[in-house]
């Protein structure tokens, strides 16, 4: 029986649609109806309780193929199973390629259709339960990991204010540096897993572009100074400053790229260039370039380094700390902002990272 399963049936043939809805209703399954793809997408976007879609392909206004493209490309709808029901069995491969979860040719056996509906809905609900369990675990793990780290950082700060000898103060400095690195690693791991679960969302809010850049710079200025590295900012006066967008994402990507630039440079200059392309009522596209004079990245790693847990396998880089998540997170954040991120080697030495993002202007 289909009791408790909410079905959306989509078919432009009203008689077939009414018969299917009545049959499903008799078997205990509440059924919503749509006569074209546009109606189907409107119902999917407004009814989070829909468990499964039974989809015809050949329809006016918007066909079933476009419904597959739009629904499977939507992060909030992509896990809703779709069974394609059509008289043309030659469309099976295209439907499955576009993300359909199952395919049945008309006329279909209602008993078989019911079994397939139950199987797909049960699989989705099990996956949702597993995702929720992981989300709850991450919430607990985040608290259990970060709380003692904050206590250690706080106690280190208190000790630093005491009357200590030079050797003890050096130990406190090393302790602070170690806790800062561990905090960053914990944050990166939790953020990446949250991305994997689709649960890392940031607010779209007003922010200052230049202040966000300055905050990222200040987090690296001490390490850069110790190495004799200088920063040069190149932002033209006509580049907008008051923006509306995901400020935390912008700041985090800038922070990751500048942290790497300092880490893999022994001296020289790190140059930050931000340009703006105005898009009228759509806001602006911003292009950020962070160039260093460090050890560089082999050309065959220019794509690999954006994958999680990838470290450049070179004797020059084995002495540097890291678990290979920073650039993977930067890539995810950039994509969430509708932008791209790339890397290229400089003509002399070092690398240049370029990333783009979109924001509205205040």
Q: For 101-126, how does the pLDDT look when each residue is reduced to its tens digit (9 = 90+)? A: 999 888 888 888 888 888 999 999 99
C-alpha 11/C-alpha 31 separation (Å) is 13
CATH 3.40.50.2300 residue spans of the chain: 7-108
Domain 134-197 coded CATH 3.40.50.2000: no
> How large is the average pLDDT for residues 174-184?
80
Architecture per CATH, domain 7-108, reads as 3-Layer(aba) Sandwich (3.40)
Strand partners, 105: 86
- Are 152 and 133 contacting, i.e. CB atoms less than 8 angstroms apart? no
- Are 260 and 291 contacting, i.e. CB atoms less than 8 angstroms apart? no
> How large is the average pLDDT for residues 258-264?
89
Question: Is the pLDDT at 53 greater than 50, yes or no?
Answer: yes
Whole-number Cα distances in Å, 186 to 6, 56, 322: 40, 47, 11
Residue with the two structure tokens 């302790």: 175
Structure tokens at 277: 């392309």
CATH 3.30.565.10 residue spans of the chain: 205-361
- Indicate the range of 63-67, 180-184, 325-329 predicted with least confidence: 180-184
pLDDT band of 310, cuts 50, 70, 90: low
Which listed CATH number (2.102.10.10, 3.30.565.10, 3.40.50.720, 3.40.50.300) goes with 205-361?
A: 3.30.565.10
Strand partners, 85: 104
Helices 166-197 and 110-160, interaxial angle, to 10°? 170
Structure tokens at 76: 């909030």
Structure tokens at 235: 């932002």
Mean pLDDT computed over every residue of the chain = 84
Structure tokens at 312: 């450049």
Structure tokens at 83: 């069974």
pLDDT band of 303, cuts 50, 70, 90: confident
CATH 1.10.287.130 residue spans of the chain: 134-197
CB burial of 108-121 (b: ≥16 within 10 Å; e: otherwise) equals beeeebbebbeebb
- Indicate the range of 80-89, 158-167, 303-312 predicted with least confidence: 303-312
pLDDT at 317: 44
Integer-rounded Cα radius of gyration of the chain = 27
Question: Is the pLDDT at 90 greater than 80, yes or no?
Answer: no
Residue 360 burial by Cβ neighbours in a 10 Å radius (0-12, 13-18, 19+): middle
pLDDT at 309: 67
C-alpha 328/C-alpha 160 separation (Å) is 35
Contacts of 189 (CB under 8 A, 6+ apart): 323, 325
């Amino acid at each position: 029986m289909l009791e408790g399963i909410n079905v959306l049936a989509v078919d432009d043939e009203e008689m077939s649609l009414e018969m299917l809805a009545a049959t499903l209703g008799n078997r205990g399954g509440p059924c919503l109806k749509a006569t074209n793809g546009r109606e189907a997408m409107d119902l999917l976007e407004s009814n989070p309780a829909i468990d499964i879609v039974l989809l015809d392909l050949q329809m006016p206004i918007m066909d079933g193929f476009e419904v597959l493209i739009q629904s499977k490309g939507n992060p909030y709808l992509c896990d809703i199973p779709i069974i394609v029901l059509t008289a043309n069995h030659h469309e099976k491969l295209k439907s499955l390629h576009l993300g359909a979860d199952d395919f049945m040719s008309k006329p279909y056996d209602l008993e078989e259709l019911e079994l397939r509906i139950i199987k797909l809905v049960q699989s989705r609900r099990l996956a949702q339960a597993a995702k929720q369990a992981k989300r709850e675990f991450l919430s607990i793990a985040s608290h259990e990991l970060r709380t003692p780290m904050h206590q250690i950082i706080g106690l280190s700060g208190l000790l630093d204010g005491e009357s200590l000898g030079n050797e003890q103060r050096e130990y406190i400095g090393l302790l602070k540096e170690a806790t800062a690195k561990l905090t960053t690693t914990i944050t990166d791991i939790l953020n990446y897993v949250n991305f994997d679960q689709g649960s890392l969302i940031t607010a779209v809010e007003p922010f200052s572009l230049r202040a966000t850049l300055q905050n990222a710079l200040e987090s690296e200025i001490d390490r850069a100074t110790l190495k004799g590295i200088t920063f040069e900012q190149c932002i033209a006066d006509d580049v907008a400053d008051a923006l509306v967008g995901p400020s935390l994402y912008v700041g985090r990507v800038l922070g990751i790229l500048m942290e790497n630039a300092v880490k893999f440079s022994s001296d020289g200059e790190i140059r930050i260039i931000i340009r703006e392309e105005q898009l009228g009522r759509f806001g602006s596209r911003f292009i950020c370039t962070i160039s260093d004079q460090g050890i560089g990245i082999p050309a065959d790693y220019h794509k690999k380094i954006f994958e999680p847990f990838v470290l450049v396998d070179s004797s020059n880089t084995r002495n540097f700390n890291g678990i290979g998540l920073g650039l993977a997170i930067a890539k995810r954040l950039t994509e969430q902002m509708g932008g791209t991120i790339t890397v290229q080697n400089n003509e002399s030495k070092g690398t240049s990272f370029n990333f783009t993002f979109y924001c509205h202007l205040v």
